[in-house]
Amino acid sequence: MTPTIAILLIITFVVSAVGLLLLIWSIATNQFGHGRLAARTIFLEGEEGHGEDPARDAGSEQADADISHEELQTREVADQSSRQAALAWLGSAVFWLLVGSAYGLLTSGKFHWPELLADSEWLTFGRVRPMHLNAVAYGWASMAGVGVAIFLIPRLFKTALVGGRYALSGAGLWNLGMILGLVAINLGLSDGEEWLEFPWQVDILFVIGGGLCAIPLVLTAANRRVSHLYVTSWYLLAALVWFPILFLLANLPGLFPGASGATVNWWFAHNVLGLWVTPIGVGIAYYMIPKILGRPIISYQLSLIGFWSLALFYSQVGIHHLVGGPVPTWLVTLSIVHSVMMSIPVITVAINHHGTMWGHFGMLRRSPTLRFVWIGALMYTVSSLQGSMEALRSVNVITHFTHYTVGHAHLGMYAFLSMILFGAIYFIMPRLLNWEWPWRPLITLHFWLVSIGILIYVVALSVGGWLQGLALLDADTPFMEIVRLTLPYLETRTLGGAMMALGHLIFAIHFVAMLTRRGKDRRQPTLFRAGERQHKHSSVEAQQ
């Protein structure tokens, strides 16, 4: 056993032990026993049965839902307390989304058009591809996730955000790290490990920036006015604790050389998805779906089982990327077992998200937030079960080192997380700015461009990657013939990516228009269907 593997196992044991202790604490303090009462903590008194999507007119909302003026005022204070910090993180995220989209489209084009800008050393594939990855992973997804968390935490704790200036400072350092990191990669100063390309000197800015952002979240949690922490709080706070530990350990310079470094690299890369991206996306969906529908999730105990099983099973999933590599076989087998066990939290989340939606799918025709978030939740189910299957050696031998893996990554990182983030931003911005989205057709166009684009993208890479994997296993097939086999699928991938990039541009234009308060001052939410108001459900239905 190498020191690296020993360290990983010790870390995993410590994380699991802490998780087990917290699980015992949650049982001892009856966190599992609150049931339906705990599921209702996100609603104001009298709000259950009345969705929030996200009508600006507080007077109308109060009359329709019979909510007390004091409670509405408390929630408005909570929303406005996070305004500056949330807008700083969300605005930065939208900017990096455009940067990442441009580099991603260029990267995709180079697969089937290798002469594209080949004379420029600044735009070679080896540089633009990691710039795309880091811009969307740490720029768009991470910053948007933190921005949404900053908005949700005061709502979940029913109190104003405490220490918002720390989050503002954190956003500044994070953006500085993004700029310096991308410039370093563009100059060829990459650390050379996937998901860890930024030089470790730059990574210090992310550690400090992330730590500053966590301060107001912890302070607000300490100042909370609720006795029970809703499951979304668990996911968001856990993500903000797990990620700095992962990021710091993986970026320690010179500690993990050679094959040991590859082990740590994929331990980190997959845990970024499972212990950072996944808790943010799942936690947001656990808040948005019930809030839009006006009804609690169907099984609160199941939501907590899903959280703890994620915490206990995910930490060793990433090593299945090293099947056949220079690492102990038992370690890879352990990772495969963990990957298969991940079906437990995935199924529990699926039951809650889709079970809560059951009988209310008609609202997908109206609500932008619900449509984006529910499709993202559906893609979480699909991508996670696909990941568990992909970890099996019989499947991995075909999909490994092929475009299939890239399609799977985008199914999780984009179809799951980004769709949920889009929906959350459509919900949050009217609350922060007291202004509705100005142009309904742009929301519709954004949705269909990114939805059809990611569908084309994933299907093309999944089919092409599977055929590529089968061909690579045939020793009699020349390599260049395999390359030619993939060309039509790579061209189709670029088409899908172009649609997604266009959708991002439209979304960014609409976002800026929202910031500058373009359009008319309307008192009803901007829905997919003009003239349709929020659909109301009775309290009896909400309790079923």
Full-prediction pTM beyond 0.75?
yes
Tokens (6 digits) for 70: 């004091």
Q: Which two tokens stand for residue 160?
A: 């104003």
Domain presence at residue 21: no
Residue 134: inside a domain: yes
Total domains in the chain come to 2
**Contact by Cβ (8 Å): 331, 374:** no
Residues 397 and 309 in one domain: yes
250, part of any domain: no
469-490: buried (b, 16+ CB within 10 Å) or exposed (e) per residue?
A: bebbeeeeeeeeebeeebeebb
Residues 200 and 335 occupy one common structural domain: no
Residue 305, in any domain of the structure: yes
Do the beta carbons of residue 323 and residue 400 sit within 8 Å? Answer: yes
Choose the final residue of a domain: 199, 228, 257: 228
Determine what percent of the chain is predicted with pLDDT higher than 90: 61
Do residues 315 and 459 share a domain? yes
Is 95 in the same domain as 190? yes
Q: What is the mean pLDDT of residues 292-298?
A: 93
CATH of the domain at 410: 1.20.210.10
Q: 490 CB contacts (<8 Å, ≥6 apart)?
A: 108, 111, 112, 403, 460, 464
Which of 151-155, 248-252, 354-358, 513-517 has the weakest average pLDDT?
A: 248-252
How confident is the model at residue 540, as a pLDDT? 34
Residues 372 and 516 in one domain: yes
Residues 305 and 203 grouped into a single domain:
no
Residue 535, pLDDT above cutoff 70 = no
Q: What is the pLDDT of residues 467-512, one digit of tens each?
A: 999 999 999 999 999 999 999 999 999 999 999 999 999 999 999 9
Please check whether residues 324 and 433 belong to one and the same domain: yes
Same domain, 103 and 201: yes
Residue 240 falls inside a structural domain = no
pLDDT band at 282 (very low <50, low <70, confident <90, very high): very high
Among 403, 409, 416, smallest CA distance to 462 is for 403
User: Looking at the structure, do residues 455 and 349 belong to the same domain, yes or no?
Assistant: yes
Do 511 and 406 reside in the same domain of the chain? yes
- The verdict on 203 and 80 lying in the same domain is yes
Asked whether residue 531 carries a pLDDT value surpassing 60, the answer given is no
User: Under a CB-based contact definition with an 8 Å cutoff, are residues 67 and 45 in contact?
Assistant: yes
Are 383 and 496 found together in one domain?
Answer: yes
Q: Which domain holds residue 488?
A: 296-522
Residue 493 falls inside a structural domain: yes
Instruction: Tell whether the model's pLDDT for residue 23 goes beyond 80.
Output: no
The stretch 75-89 carries a mean pLDDT of 95
Q: Which of 201, 228, 255 is the last residue of a domain?
A: 228
Instruction: Specify the pLDDT at position 17.
Output: 60
Segment among 242-256, 282-296, 328-342 with least mean pLDDT: 242-256
Structure confidence at residue 79 (pLDDT): 94
What sign does the dihedral 504-429-304-301 (CA atoms) show? negative
Q: Last residue of some domain: 228, 248, 268?
A: 228
**Residue 340, in any domain of the structure:** yes
Q: Does residue 26 lie within any of the structural domains? A: no
pLDDT digits (tens, 9 = 90+) for 380-423: 999 999 999 999 999 999 999 999 999 999 999 999 999 999 99
Q: Which one, of 269, 222, 213, 267, lies nearest residue 241 by Cα?
A: 213
